[in-house]
Amino acid sequence: MSSLSSAPYKGTRDYYPADKRRQNYIFGVWARMAKRFGYEEYGAPLLEPLEVYTAKSGQELVGEQTYRFTDRGDRDVVIRPEMTPSISRMVAAKRQELAYPARWFSIANFMRYERPQRGREREFWQLNVDMFGADGVQADAEIISLGFETMKAFGAKPDMYVIKLNSRKVIDAMMHDYLGLDPIQAPLMVKLFDRKNKISNEAFRDQAIEIFGTEQAKEGLSKIAQLLLAKEIENLPKEIAENPAVEELHQLFSILKGRGVTNATFDITLMRGFDYYTGTVFEFFDTHPDNNRAMFGGGRYDGLVGLFGAEPLSAVGMAPGLSMTELFLDSHGLMPEFTSTTEVYVAVLGDALPGASTLTARLRDEGVNTELDITGRKIDRQIKTAVKKQIPYVLFVGEEELKNETYNLKDTHTGDEETLSFERLVTRVKDRRHKHSTDVDELFE
């Protein structure tokens, strides 16, 4: 038999311990900050019935990017490509029993069949944070401010990124009242703006002309040009400015300012891809020259819960992704260095394994993460293993040490060695833990 390939499935990643430490750091900060804001964790199934997505997730996602198949019982199912429909379904199922506003978060994996590239994998991880049952800009502001505080917890300064804001209602006013587009043209123009940063100015112009039609095109393009020059929310043309949604955006900016969010900015061109958004939409955008791109976004989607046969319920949320967060932290030099979660490697001298095993059990009882060498190898090979695993300490245990109840502890980073009693040894390791603890330690606080 020829041997099997050891490569992971295309577009997915193997997380070896050193990669997993980075992932856990990000998950830890996410979970900590979501809980700080009073959000509770939930979990949803990996598979959902196909129709959960056909309704509102958007053509491209469902038609081209889903992992869909028919199960052995003839059900059309999809590996979840996003969380919003699942959580809306869950809320709908217990619509009458839940306490509102419901504040929920999850950290989960998703799959989309896309061309893998930098920051985009077929299997990807996201934090999803959502609030159900609260209308209005106070709720929108809370979600955005949670995004801002989470960035701060990662060490991000407000000048490293911007938060772009818009509203689907403002977009509607722009499409219908300002550009004069009909219900067929308007969604096409929304999709075109959504792709604006991914295509050339010429391509944008050509496709816009096609949507307007020859008669409308000249005036339409000129209006778009004026709008793009306006930039500030104060300079919006009358047809948009008098829409009540603009006043809501003003309030949103004012609340965000009160909460210390200093890098929020209005962007009339921000659309967000999903069909389900109904109000405020936003995007956290990295301004680093090497990584100038949207990191994540979110918005209000008041119509989704009602699709599942429940009384309608307002909703707002966001979904930061793991890969984009990693790119941001790496670009800005904010990713910490990690050592192993194992703190002590017990190297065994001679035939001391039974005694070393008992000592190891005592260390574990004291809460010290301890690996015991059970191989009977030469001592230098044991040390090499500990160093390669990035374990901070090696403890040498032989018959002599066990008799004297003092042990040599070697710091694998500095190379320093100390002779310590069991109690001093435990204290030494715990002191280091508290000095080096990162946010990841608090994941389940």
Mark 365-404 with x for binding to its own copies (rule: CB under 8 A) and - for no binding: --xxxxxx-xx--------xx--xx-x-------------
Residues 343 to 362 in contact with its own copies, rule: CB under 8 A: 345, 353-354, 357, 361
Mark 142-181 with x for binding to its own copies (rule: CB under 8 A) and - for no binding: x------x--------------------------------
Pick between residue 133 and residue 237 the one whose CB is nearest to its own copies. Answer: 133
Amino acid at the residue 115: R
In terms of Cβ atoms closer than 10 Å to its own Cβ (0-12, 13-18, 19+), residue 78 is: buried
Residues 23 to 52 in contact with its own copies, rule: CB under 8 A: 23-24, 28, 35-49, 51-52
H or E stretch at 409: strand 406-411
d(CA 384, CA 390): 10
CB of 89 to its own copies, least distance (A): 5
Amino acid at the residue 308: F
Residues 276 to 315 in contact with its own copies, rule: CB under 8 A: 306-310
Quick one: tokens of 433? 């833990």
Mark 117-146 with x for binding to its own copies (rule: CB under 8 A) and - for no binding: ------x----------x---xx--x----
Contact flag: residue 410 with its own copies (CB under 8 A): no
Whether residue 386 contacts residue 342, with contact meaning beta carbons closer than 8 Å, is answered with no
d(CA 56, CA 92): 16
CB of 199 to its own copies, least distance (A): 24
- Answer for which of 207, 216, 269, 342 binds its own copies (CB under 8 A) is 342
Cα-trace Rg, the chain: 27
Amino acid at the residue 2: S
Q: Which residues of 364-398 are buried (b: 16+ CB within 10 A; e: fewer)?
A: eeeebebbbbeeeeeeeebbebbeeebbbbbbbbb
Residues 48 to 107 in contact with its own copies, rule: CB under 8 A: 48-49, 51-52, 55, 67, 69-73, 75, 77, 79, 89-90, 92-94, 99-101, 103-104
Residues 414 to 433 in contact with its own copies, rule: CB under 8 A: 433
Residues 177 to 206 in contact with its own copies, rule: CB under 8 A: none
- Answer for which of 116, 258, 312, 350 binds its own copies (CB under 8 A) is 258
Pick between residue 32 and residue 223 the one whose CB is nearest to its own copies. Answer: 32
Three-state DSSP state, 429: helix
**Distances 135 to 41, 141, 152, 172, 315 between C-alpha atoms, Å:** 22, 11, 26, 19, 8
Pick between residue 189 and residue 363 the one whose CB is nearest to its own copies. Answer: 363
Size of the site for its own copies (CB under 8 A): 104
